[in-house]
Amino acid sequence: MEKFQDDTVKLEMIKTILDGGYFNDNIYLCKMIKYNEEEECIYLLTGKTELSEFSLDSIYECTMTDEEEEVKCRGKIVERYWDKRGKVLVFHVENGFYKNSLN
């Protein structure tokens, strides 16, 4: 996943965990700043999007694309915070990486 570092990725809510929880059907563009293979976490910058837009009680799909393939994974946002780089999401991968060839 290091090849997608500094690339724009799509983040989309696919399911809420809480009964009666708010489902947000927006697709967010974030910048991948790091992938921690040991913790299975992707660190994302949200840009202008406020951290409160992202639920800690939902399942998201993260899509990474380059010229040759599209890679998707599913998981949860486990942490949201500000640091010197901006607004950061920590996305924990729970359902592996699925590759689709674009050629």
Residues 2-58: tens digit of each pLDDT: 677 888 999 999 999 888 778 899 999 999 999 999 999 999 999 999 999 999 999
pLDDT of residue 98: 66
Confirm if 4 and 44 have CB atoms less than 8 A apart. no
The rounded distance, in Å, linking the Cα atoms of 46 and 31 is 7
With a CB cutoff of 8 Å and minimum separation 6, the contacts of 65 are 7, 9, 10, 71, 102
Q: Which alpha helices (H) appear in the chain, and where do they start and end?
A: none
pLDDT above 90 (res 102) = no
pLDDT on residue 20: 76
Q: What is the mean pLDDT of the chain?
A: 90
Q: Is the pTM of this model over 0.85?
A: yes
- Using one digit for the tens of pLDDT, what is the confidence trace for 46-100? 999 999 999 999 999 999 988 778 899 999 999 999 999 999 999 999 987 766 6
Could you count the other beta carbons within 10 Å of the beta carbon of residue 54?
22
Q: Are the C-beta atoms of residues 31 and 5 closer than 8 Å to each other?
A: no
